[in-house]
């Protein structure tokens, strides 16, 4: 299947480094970042898994669970995890799916034949607590993922889910945000009594509301 934004991410059960993992049960009512790797013992992915392990407290405070996937079996993952701890200085502290039969990779459309018929592309899926797909990113094999950007997009999603705003280019926590165009000035005054700066009638900047988590 080909997942699109807004689709429900299907449930699955598969082996992992933390035992059998039933995705919907494991996710619960949390946000999830699922990121795939083409195979074990790949250099770029080794640095990525170490980075996410170091950033796990930042995901935790946003109510986000992280979940890796690679197409090798658990015993291979366990050996790779030792290398990650040795070279990256942080032990793996989240589950890594052992998708040895490509069941999950095929279900989530993580194998792209023009890249490889057998290994997954390096994709990031951001999934909300209702199991809806909210963001996808797919990287080439040569370019490491930017997990600070992934955290930034989660901040934006969580903020804009709770307030009638959108975030501008390069937005960071604490920056001004945009009042959504569907809100007329009268309705905006009720929600943003402090006022806003209108660069154009359709481009109204306002101080960032507090995110609700």
pLDDT tens column, 184-198: 999 999 999 999 999
155, part of any domain: no
Residue that is last in its domain, among 111, 144, 177: 144
Tally of structural domains, the chain? 2
Token readout for 97 is 């799916």
Shared domain for 35 and 136, answered yes or no, is: yes
Q: Residue 68's domain is classified under what CATH number?
A: 3.40.30.10
Asked if residue 145 lies in contact with residue 48, where contact means CB atoms within 8 angstroms, the answer is yes
What crossing angle do the helices spanning 147-162 and 43-61 adopt, rounded to 10°? Answer: 30
Comparing 83 with 113, the larger pLDDT belongs to 83
85, part of any domain: yes
Give yes or no: 45 in active site.
Answer: yes
Shared domain for 111 and 31, answered yes or no, is: yes
Asked if residue 179 lies in contact with residue 168, where contact means CB atoms within 8 angstroms, the answer is no
Shared domain for 60 and 135, answered yes or no, is: yes
Residues spanned by the domain of 178? 163-206
Instruction: Given the residues 45, 84, 111, 165, select the one marked as catalytic.
Output: 45
Token readout for 28 is 């619960």
DSSP character at residue 11: P
Average of pLDDT values for 196-205?
Answer: 96
Shared domain for 17 and 62, answered yes or no, is: yes
2, part of any domain: no
1-31: pLDDT as tens digits = 588 999 999 999 999 999 999 999 999 999 9
Shared domain for 184 and 114, answered yes or no, is: no
């Amino acid at each position: 299947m080909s997942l699109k934004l807004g689709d429900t991410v299907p449930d699955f059960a598969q082996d992992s480094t933390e035992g059998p993992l039933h995705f919907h049960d494991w996710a619960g009512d949390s946000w999830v970042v699922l990121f795939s790797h083409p195979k074990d013992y790949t250099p770029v992915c080794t640095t990525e898994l170490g980075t996410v392990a170091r950033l796990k407290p930042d995901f935790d405070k946003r109510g986000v669970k992280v979940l890796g996937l690679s197409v090798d079996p658990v015993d291979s993952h366990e050996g790779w995890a030792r290398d990650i701890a040795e070279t990256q200085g942080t032990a793996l502290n989240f589950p890594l799916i052992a998708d040895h039969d490509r069941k999950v990779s095929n279900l989530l459309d993580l194998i792209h034949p023009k890249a490889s018929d057998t290994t997954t592309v390096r994709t990031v899926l951001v999934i909300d607590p209702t199991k809806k797909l909210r963001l996808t990113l797919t990287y080439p094999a040569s370019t490491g993922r930017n997990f600070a950007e992934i955290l930034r997009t989660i901040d934006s999603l969580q903020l804009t889910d709770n307030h009638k705003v959108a975030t501008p280019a390069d937005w960071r926590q604490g920056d001004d945000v945009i009042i959504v165009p569907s809100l007329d000035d009268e309705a905006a005054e009720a929600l943003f009594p402090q006022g806003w700066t209108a660069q154009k009638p359709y481009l109204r900047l306002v101080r960032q509301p507090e995110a609700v988590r």
